[in-house]
Structure 1
């Protein structure tokens, strides 16, 4: 660590967890603990198993560095644009930012669940530096690693389903059992996450094993993709075939976990070949999602919430206005979508047999680009998020909705209010990870700083009191918070889309053939 990196960091307090003592650092007014194990390394005999309780240690463990990332398809880009985290098998670790490691403090706790299409992610990514949330909100923030990709979500014989979700439950159990020693209140835990992290939170709301582990939830851009068992097994068969193996835990465990990621990456590039079998999943190039297996995840989140599963949990669920724009830009497709491509997307993703006609009628002046982007924004993120809030209300619970409409300023503004923009705004990490892209070439303006602060204020107020500062959502007024330079509370703004998707039930995606 250089002198500049260590400035503001001193040896911090020692906290005794259930497994042993850990020493953190003091960093700019916070006590920060990194890389604390919450479960055994899931390798060897523990490979493809549910997380196992962490083994106790003697003495005091230095909690100065993030634990290694779980195996995944793509490298993790840190500030140095190289893998700036340690390698190793101890993937299942937590990190804590706290104003005061004092059991008497009893501050609210926020637990972040990262996204990444269920195939990438690491709690040590610079974009998830939680110092501003902890400091501005005067609360405790926890981040953690969970298994992704084949290790976490492939449905294989001889292994429990949804191991990544089971890791999340184990991390929340660690919070329940240990967070008081860090100054947190285990009875005031809020989970928050974006994209696959929000999809994970939606699943946790439906999981009996997660009951009682958190009191509030914030789901940012919930993806609508949950797999049926039949689809998940078919995908796992194709995945294993890429490695020349059968889809069993015994076979897959013969391959080093860091090499097995090659099979997932290879399959992702070929998924369009399976569209006749996998339907809407094929164009996503993401062969992983939570599986509605009837045990770990008994049913889809929308059905569970409508039946009252989240009645005692307060929920924020919302999305960004131009969600799919990010993927158009990154794929070099912006301004290049043909009418034939727009038609194919409408026929595949729009709801009901008349979905294409309904979209063209609702948006008669839309270009092929706009139709292509709109239907995929709706199907993948916007309508799943709205429907999650509506299901929560239908089940007797309390929900709040929002839409982020402020456009990212980087690269001439081409990204709009795209998927993932809320992350650098919330964490105030404009120069890290997605922030590098969405704020490229510009310094954060006073407007960006103000919106960033407003997001943290709303999220932390919700964690503290259950009130983010705007009215709860109901199906009569449909009021939501617009997050922009000039925030306002208004009727849900995507009314045309809402009407087209009204009554649609996001099912567990089926195997078609």
Structure 2
């Protein structure tokens, strides 16, 4: 995008002059670099610039291997619009086109999911345009290092948690600059799904985040996979040692993929081979983590929850499993497996996390999303919350996830959920009088409750 294009505007910020595009009621400033990094090095904040900043022609994305399951269930990735970049410290700002003078909009920061391995901040299926226009909010989407580059490590040459440190640098940038876009730097909500929710949970106990955000929304965070990952991470680090100096990042991606089956012996946690690591900056030890969450409980308003049939996304979409478990007694076994694994990875950990924070004096809301469609065989699986929050029908038209769900259903319920989540972002509360869609259960966690 160049300064001569029509429908552009320039934001005069303390970071520099940033060109943004006006489109259908919103203004979007894309791919602003907030930091730089060398391979396996900590991020260095980007310096303000005297020149006009223009978004690149292609969206920068951390090198990664496309997931066949994601391509099938969510939709084909428009790879031609992306540019691999190891130093993937970029963010984009979407705000309403019209903001009153001196108005301060609540700010929601989107931390994408993808098992700490795939994705980026700017995907069509997570385009916040509808939400921004409906609720008059600002949404900042963040890209950060993933996989080998951001969420493995464990020694002096390859430090862990680099992706988490990237996000912290993004939050510092947002705190310092978002007022120049019309946002309220003292009303910032972190919002993440899946591994993005897991990252947010750990940002709550990270060093160096004081004052950077006030609220968190965690959807489908796999907190049940966070425990006792040290041996698996160390093993995977050793196995990938030969790749650390590979110049060809695409070859690097291909080769590490061949090593993933070797860690299956570590059980269910191997379903997410990359992740945050305790005992390394910016985190405490695993043994200290819950005490730290409780210590910080009063610092953040929390909205946390999950979908009723999370693991159906993986189990009920498998052709191999459906061959044996797609009907009759096999389907009953499949349904029970989905129920048990959803509870183990998402449900029970979310309820316990919410309860611990509430007991420590935190303001916590717990939600659960169901399916109300009789002819929907996979129910409310992992990722069903994404079209509900972000809308954008055209981006989801090829989605296997929604093939049995009319878009009118998604739009109707999604608009109500977007309103509730925005209410929480504005106030830290969800009123008992606010409308709730039939698919959603949400309640404030009572410290007297005994949640198992």
Give structure 1 stretches of 5+ with no counterpart.
2-8, 246-250, 343-365, 472-480, 493-497, 503-513
Q: Structure 1 49/304 Cα, relative in aligned 2: closer, same or farther at 3 Å?
A: farther
2:417 is the counterpart of 1:417: no
Q: Matches of 1:153 and 1:106 in 2, distance apart? A: 35
Judge which range, 450-459 or 13-22, deviates more: 13-22
CA distance in 2, matches of 1:206, 1:184: 25
1:185 aligns with 2:184: yes
Do the aligned partners of residues 199 and 407 (structure 1) sit closer, same or farther apart at CA in structure 2, a change above 3 Å counting? farther
Give the whole-Å Cα distance in 1 for the aligned partners of 2:21 and 2:206: 35
Offset, 1:330: 2.8
How far did 1:296 drift?
A: 1.5
Partner of 1:209: 208
Q: Do 2:104 and 2:183's aligned partners in 1 also have CA atoms closer than 8 Å?
A: yes
User: Distance between the aligned counterparts of 2:99 and 2:80, measured in 1?
Assistant: 27
1:296 paired with 2:296, answer no
| Equivalent-residue separation in structure 2 for 1:119 and 1:80 (angstroms) | 17
SS in structure 2 opposite 1:296?
coil
Aligned: 1:279 with 2:267: yes
The whole-number CA distance in structure 2 between the counterparts of 1:304 and 1:424 is: 35
1:459 partnered with 2:421 = yes
TM-score normalized with structure 1 length: 0.76
1:305·1:392 contact (CA, 8 Å) conserved in 2?
Answer: no
Q: Distance in 1 between matches of 2:6 and 2:346?
A: 42
Out of 305, 322, 327, the position equivalent to 1:318 is 305
> 1:60 is paired with a residue of what secondary structure?
coil
For the residue of structure 2 that corresponds to 1:155, the secondary structure is coil
Call closer, same or farther: CA 1:48–1:491 in 2, change over 3 Å: closer
State the secondary structure of the residue aligned to 2:187. strand
What is the aligned partner in structure 2 of residue 388 from structure 1?
Answer: 353
How far, CA to CA, are the matches of 1:306 and 1:80 in structure 2?
Answer: 38
Matches of 1:294 and 1:63, distance apart in 2: 34
**Cα distance change on mapping 1:38 and 1:83 into 2, 3 Å:** same
Structure 1 segment 73-472 matched on structure 2, within 5 A: 73-74=65-66, 81-89=77-85, 91-99=88-96, 100=98, 104-157=102-155, 158-224=157-223, 225-226=225-226, 228-240=229-241, 245=242, 252-272=244-264, 275=265, 278-282=266-270, 284=271, 286-300=272-286, 303-304=290-291, 306-332=293-319, 333-334=321-322, 336-337=324-325, 367-406=332-371, 413-432=376-395, 436-440=399-403, 443-445=406-408, 447-470=409-432
1:176-222 per-residue CA deviation (whole Å, 9 max, x = no partner) reads: 01100000011000000110010011111111222221000000011
- Whole-Å separation in 1 of the counterparts to 2:444 and 2:427: 24
TM-score, structure 2 as length reference: 0.86
Q: Distance in 1 between matches of 2:431 and 2:398?
A: 26
